[in-house]
Amino acid sequence: MHRASGEGRAAQYRRLVDTTDAAVTELMTAMGHEQVVFVADAPSGLRAVIAVHSTALGPSLGGIRFWRYPSEHDAVVDALRLSEAMSLKAAAAGLHQGGGKAVVLVDDPDAPRTDAVLRAMGRAIDDLGGRYIAAEDVGATPRDMQVIASETPWVTGIEGRGGGVRDGSVRLVAGGERAREHEHGQRARPSPLVQTAASVHEAPARRRERPR
């Protein structure tokens, strides 16, 4: 009976994913997500989706992906799918963390991002108050993460100045997940999948005050 129920949920999920007019809340319910944030910043042109799958065990962690999506629906599904995978990997590793993901809709993933776009993304992450902690992923560069971290402390893997969670207990573990193939046929590099940060729960006490 449990098996049939599981198969039923899987079938429901596949149906919703393949239905482009499925409501976001339907997808969230089917996959167990807590929160999905749509980000739009007119001055910079930023369009992004941040998915928080679970914060039951701790803050949600996941990379920021800059990618060209056929539609906004595809971007939402990618964020939901990858954030769920992060929760499962963190739980399997026994970490006090949940899964999150941010995807930024761009025309060319390889084109340099403007500071305005990156700072707007940083402010959107900061507004979540630590529920989502960002890491570098497909399409993102170390410079991108540095600029984002200038607006929020909720960024991992930042070296030197510029903000971010830089405690010595932070380490990124590369997992087996790979991004979908680029349009030109090359495989993208593996994304950072799991961040072990024993002291990340102390970060709220160190959160910077940002001028509003």
Q: Tokens 């920021």 — which residue?
A: 64
> What is the C-alpha separation between 99 and 52, in angstroms, rounded?
6
Q: Is 98 left (phi over 0), alpha (psi -120 to 50) or beta?
A: beta
Q: Which of 74, 67, 101, 66 is nearest to 86 (CA)?
A: 101
The tokens describing 70, both together, are 């056929």
State the catalytic residues.
Answer: 101
Question: In Å, how far are 46, 91, 131, 202 from 18, measured between CA atoms?
Answer: 26, 28, 29, 41
> What is the C-alpha separation between 84 and 78, in angstroms, rounded?
10
H or E element: which one contains 186?
none
Check: CB of residue 23 under 8 Å from CB of residue 72.
Answer: no
